[in-house]
């Protein structure tokens, strides 16, 4: 198997997973905030899916991207758009690890402390905004990758 194609396949696969995990993130947070006492889902379910899987997909995209770079001459030999894309991906990783994961932890904690519904929904909407920011950054990064030779 051609290592360049293998690296590219793994890179795009995990980048797609990373994007997929952002879809509906805001709705899930709002649903979680609005759940009645009798239907309450264990927050771990969301924290696992949104926190750990998202971090894994992001890390794997970065790692496979680095692997791809090693196949194509290393960091110095990459066109500037790839450098920009790599930096944008690091910003995405930080957004997933900080405002989104911490937002979910705050939402879970606030719900179990009986915080008012309106405040829970406000926290959930903020998580949704950060998920939206992730999606826009992802699309921008994809553009830097595909149009890297322009
Ligand atoms: C959200 C993040 C990312 C997405 C969606 C993404 C997507 C892609 C796609 C679709 C390609 C293939 C483009 C084509 O051949 O037309 C590509 C190529 C590439 N990506 Fe990424 N990428 C991401 C992050 C990264 C990161 C963080 C790095 C480096 C650490 C990286 C390094 C590369 C390299 C070096 C290539 C070009 C390989 C070549 O010259 O053929 N990417 N990326």
- Name residues of the chain where pLDDT drops below 70: 36-50
For residues 90 and 53, give the distance between their C-alpha atoms in angstroms, rounded to a whole number: 16
Question: How many domains is the chain built from?
Answer: 1
Q: Whose CA is nearest to atom 13 of ligand 1?
A: 146
pLDDT reported for residue 25: 85
CATH of the domain at 36: 1.20.120
For residues 12 and 119, give the distance between their C-alpha atoms in angstroms, rounded to a whole number: 38
With H, G, I as helix, E, B as strand and everything else as coil, classify residue 32: helix
- pTM of the complete model: 0.90
Domain that holds residue 137: 3-146
Ligand 1: which atom is nearest the Cα of residue 16? 5
Find the 41 Cα to ligand 1 centroid distance in Å.
37
Radius of gyration of the CA atoms of the chain, in A:
18
Ligand 1: which atom is nearest the Cα of residue 86? 27
pLDDT reported for residue 91: 97
For residues 92 and 134, give the distance between their C-alpha atoms in angstroms, rounded to a whole number: 6
With H, G, I as helix, E, B as strand and everything else as coil, classify residue 24: coil
Ligand 1: which atom is nearest the Cα of residue 69? 35
The residues lining ligand 1, judged by C-beta closer than 6 Å to any ligand atom, are 11-12, 15, 18, 61-62, 65-66, 68-69, 72, 78, 82, 85-86, 89, 138, 141-142, 145-146
């Amino acid at each position: 198997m051609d290592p360049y194609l293998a690296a590219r396949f793994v890179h795009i696969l995990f980048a797609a997973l990373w994007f997929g995990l952002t879809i509906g993130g805001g709705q899930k947070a709002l649903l979680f905030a609005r759940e009645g006492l009798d239907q309450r889902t264990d927050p771990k379910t969301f924290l696992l899916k949104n926190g750990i899987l998202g971090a894994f997909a992001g890390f794997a995209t970065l790692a496979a991207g680095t692997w791809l770079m090693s196949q194509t001459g290393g960091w110095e030999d990459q066109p500037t758009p790839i450098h920009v894309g790599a930096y944008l991906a690091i910003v995405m990783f930080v957004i997933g690890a900080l405002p989104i994961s911490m937002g979910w932890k705050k939402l879970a904690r606030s719900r179990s402390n009986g915080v008012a519904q309106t405040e829970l929904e406000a926290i959930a909407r903020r998580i949704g905004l950060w998920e939206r920011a992730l999606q826009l950054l992802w699309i921008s990064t994809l553009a830097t990758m595909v149009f890297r030779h322009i």
